[in-house]
Amino acid sequence: MIGRTKEISLLENLYASHALEIACVYGEEGIGVRTLIASFLRQKRGYFCNVRACSPLLNEAFFCNDMKGQGLTASPQETVKSLLERLFQKAEGEKIVFVVQRTEWLAAGFPSLFVEMAKLLGKPACTYRMLLLLTGKNRDSFQEPERLLPHQKFTYLPVGPLSYLEAMPVLANYAPEEKILLYGACGGQPSLLRLLRSDLSCKENVCSLLLNGNSSFADGAEAYLRMFLREPAVYQTILAAVAGGAARLQELEQRTGFSAGKLSKYLSTLVERGILARWIPATEMQIPKQHKKTLYKLENTFLLFHYLYIFPNQGILDAGGERKLFRSLRKTIQEKYCRLVFQQVCMQQFREVIQEMEAGDGPTPVGYEWESGETDKPPLMVRLGKRLGVFGISIWQKNKVDLPEILEFMERTRIYSAEESYWIVYSRKGFTNPALRFSAHQPNLRLVSLIYMK
């Protein structure tokens, strides 16, 4: 398994408890929830129940069959109730993990499962050494268990894309800038990263996997939308516009031809689903009002790659022109797309630094600040605490970052009131000697080169 050390650590802590613990693990298809649980359960006693999208009668029969196959059944007359009693009886004497997968289907497909479990958990003076692991595709998947077990504590564990550092084992054979491209095009999704072939160059992987109309990637983005959204044609129009640079509502009206009212509805759905990000200036995040500077960004870099380079060129790719297309797009991919991916990778690391610093300053929202109007200046990463202001910037350019650029960045942060400031500069190509000498005498300034981000 790639990465997931934090998730495994949380599950291990729950497993170490001597009481009943309930963990809700959720994430979209292909993100690695099943792999995470399989890795966690190595050398542990676990029982699996997979809730199907079918009738309660069939699910009950499948449950009995599943338990029989896992060695729990003692007689042919076993029922859901008797099997659960046997399972919970085991948990009184030994540590057991009971995994219920696809919990979103419980209410319609297997309501008796948690009805019977609620009765067992309601018995007085019973201590079960069980970790109940529930899986689903989103946070709403657990409404039925929450309703039937109102007095139990639930721990929620979202499983998202791998961070850039977590994906390093798969990307180890590539140059730093190639890692950025491949990580971004896969969106940090383990199921896609595993398809990369280490025996192929970055270019060959891009052409044979990402731009090949017959590969697993080809229909991935549109299949993803069809899975979660009912009107893919409308959403694809919006996503293509956002990928192309339309970030404000007025710009989206012009690019899509949709009214502001219609756009607002669909944009809200995309934000709720985590497909689009709504950028609000970091200094305004805690203000409950309509924000005039709101931007919409496609932070899912897998979808971003698709709507920048695959969606507009589908005919060329279907005709087998992936290599010719890559040659024509290579420069814009390196300078535009990789800049956006690098910005997100830097924000990942910026958040890690913030977590290390927050112990004495309290949790505070982390976000972006940007200049109004059209500007090529990269947005600032900002965290303003009670005492400490932390500022970051990602610079994706062909030359090393020089001292004047660092001083300009630091000057941009002077408008924010903070007792103490800390600055982090992330660079694609590294730093000049004057910049490095200046940094050596600035304890509150950190310079980070892409080549060392591993």
Instruction: Give the span between the Cα atoms of 132 and 31, in whole angstroms.
Output: 21
Strands 295-297 and 277-279: antiparallel
Look at the block and give the residue holding tokens 């060129």.
313
Q: Say what the pLDDT of residue 19 is.
A: 87
Paired sense of beta strands 277-279 and 96-101, if any: unpaired
Confidence category of residue 277, pLDDT binned at 50, 70, 90: very high
Residue 220: predicted pLDDT: 67
pTM higher than the cut 0.85: yes
Six-digit token pair at 322?
Answer: 């992936």
Our CA angle for 272, 5, 224, nearest 5°, is 35
- What's the CA dihedral at 214, 166, 338, 424 to 10 degrees? 170
Output the CA torsion sign for 411, 416, 420, 421: negative
Tokens of 208: 């044979």
CB neighbourhood size of 452 (10 A): 9
CA distances from 83 to 21, 61, 70, 88, 121 (A): 20, 12, 12, 9, 15
Token code pair at residue 226: 């069809």
Buried b (16+ CB within 10 A) or exposed e, 285-308: eeeeeeeeeebbbbbbbbbbbbbb
| Residue 214 DSSP class | T
- The stretches of 70-110 forming alpha helices (DSSP H) are 80-93, 106-109
pLDDT band at 227 (very low <50, low <70, confident <90, very high): low
The rounded distance, in Å, linking the Cα atoms of 200 and 447 is 32
pLDDT exceeds cutoff 80 at 222? no
Can you tell me the distance from the alpha carbon of 93 to that of 130, in angstroms, rounded to the nearest whole number?
10
CA distance 365 to 96: 38
CB neighbours (10 Å) of residue 436?
14
Residue 287 has pLDDT above 70, yes or no: no
Distance of CA 15 to the CA centre of its chain: 24
Contact between 70 and 45 under an 8 Å Cβ cutoff? The reply is no
- pLDDT mean over 305-310: 92
φ, ψ at 393 (rounded to 5°): -150, 140
Please tell me the distance from the alpha carbon of residue 179 to that of residue 249, in angstroms, as a whole number. 33
As a whole-number percent, the residues of the chain with pLDDT over 70 amount to 93
Please state, in angstroms and rounded to a whole number, the distance separating the CA atoms of residues 129 and 126: 10
Q: What would the two tokens of residue 191 be?
A: 């199921």
Mean pLDDT of 166-179: 95
Chain mean position to CA 142: 19
At 123 the pLDDT is: 75
Amino acid, res. 338: C
- Looking at residue 29, what is its pLDDT? 79
Single-letter code of the amino acid located at 19: A
Assess contact for 202 and 181: CB atoms under 8 A. Answer: yes
Residue of 225 and 121 predicted with greater confidence = 121
Mean of the per-residue pLDDT values of the chain: 89
Alpha carbon distance 237, 225 (integer Å): 12
Terminal alpha carbon distance of the chain: 18
pLDDT of residue 318: 86
pLDDT of 360 reads 57
Q: Going from the N-terminus, what domains does the chain have, and what CATH number goes with each? A: 5-158 (3.40.50.300), 168-340 (1.10.10), 348-452 (3.40.1350.10)
Rounded Cα–Cα distance for residues 159 and 26 (Å):
6
Q: How many CA atoms lie within 13 A of 415 on its CB side?
A: 9
Q: How far apart are CA 213 and CA 27, in angstroms?
A: 27
Highest mean pLDDT among 286-290, 373-377, 437-441: 437-441
Which contiguous run of DSSP H or E holds residue 347? Answer: helix 338-357
Q: What per-residue string of b and e applies to 73-101 under the rule 16 or more CB within 10 Å gives b?
A: beeeebebebbbeebbebbeeebbbbbbb
Going from the C-alpha of 411 to that of each of 404, 418, 423, 440, the distances in angstroms are: 10, 14, 11, 19
Under the banding of pLDDT at 50, 70 and 90, the label for residue 448 is very high
